[in-house]
Structure 1
Amino acid sequence: MESKERFNVESFNLDHTLVAAPYIRTADVKELGQERIVKFDVRFTQPNEKFIPTDALHSLEHLLAENIRNHTDQVIDLSPMGCRTGFYLIMKGHVTTEEAARSILLALQDVLEATEVPGCSPIHCGNYRDHDLEGAQLWARRFLSVPHAQLIKVFREELSPEELEHVPAWTGFVK
């Protein structure tokens, strides 16, 4: 069912039934004076089919927010989506989707190597008991299982039949 209604929120105007997660897309670009701010939609799972459990999402947030800054100095923020299907990455400058993807992929490799979740204490986190490092690593592994060039293709219609076969199944990835 196609809606003609337009919303102020960019993601509400995205037809979530047409995307093929995981992917990374440019969601919005703002010019603020002399600065450019770019918001990326980093989608881990297919909307309205699966969602990331809260504890794994929370750990992924900590791990990605901490580690991505080791690979680029352009990060303003990385925050989970309320629907728990991915994250928004906000960066400054003329950052391309490919450049953002490179930083995300490097940070996800760091997630796989992590032995603990950074900032996981009552001093540093408002819900420090709600974490799952192993779950975060499963979701990172799933995202990384997709060929890198395919991650910047958002819509099913952009994918070849062979690429659609690389959209990861859930078996072996999710607890």
Structure 2
Amino acid sequence: MSTAEKKMNVESFNLDHTKVKAPYVRLAGMKEGINGDVIRKYDIRFTQPNKEHLEMPAIHSLEHMMAEFSRNHSDQIVDISPMGCQTGYYLALINHDNYDEVLTILEKTLQDVLEADEVPACNEFQCGWAASHSLDGAKEAAKGMLEKRNEWTKVFA
């Protein structure tokens, strides 16, 4: 059995990355807690896997900006985390099951990025690598994602 055929514990490792077409937003997993709370994790893919990627300073700045700005649009955000492959982010929400609202939250958040004139918490006191940021790179990534807003619901080519 090849590695690609083996069922992996991590959901995204079971996704055929050669069949997806970025950009997209897809539900990547759900976990229910012992008290009934449900965490939903979304795969927000900005660039085509294994064909293109975002540069680290842009990823870092976009992470700061989305983490800060998304919470202006929902109090159910748990976390926004960059993917190590540099192609997107994971968004986790608690007790939120409306996919269309997730798209709206993301759209509003990316609009906020375009309107920003600085990266939040971009200093040595609040950030672990404050020298690695790019406001322009974050804005370029946000603009590219927003330009293809009508494609977000189509995961596969």
Q: State the TM bucket, normalised to the shorter chain.
A: over 0.9
Q: TM-score, normalised by structure 1?
A: 0.85
Q: Structure 2: which amino acid aligns with 1:3?
A: A
CA contact (8 A) 2:22 2:45 kept: yes
The corresponding residue for 2:85 is 83
Q: TM-score, normalised by structure 2?
A: 0.95
SS of the residue 2:152 aligns to: helix
Unaligned runs of 5+ in 1: 157-175
CA contact (8 A) 1:97 1:152 kept: no
Q: In the TM superposition, what whole-angstrom CA distance separates every residue of 1:105-145 from its partner, at most 9, and x where no partner exists? A: 10000000000000001000000010000010000000000
Unaligned runs of 5+ in 2: none
RMSD, matched Cα:
1.3
SS of the residue 1:91 aligns to: strand
The corresponding residue for 1:20 is 21
Q: Distance in 2 between matches of 1:101 and 1:28?
A: 16
| Shift in Å, 1:100 | 1.2
Matches within 5 A, 1:1-175: 3-33=4-34, 34-148=36-150, 150-156=151-157
| Shift in Å, 1:2 | 9.3
Q: Distance in 1 between matches of 2:67 and 2:75?
A: 12
Larger relative contact order (CA 8 Å, sep ≥ 6)? 2
Q: Distance in 2 between matches of 1:53 and 1:71?
A: 26
CA contact (8 A) 1:98 1:152 kept: no
Q: How many residue pairs align between the two structures? A: 155
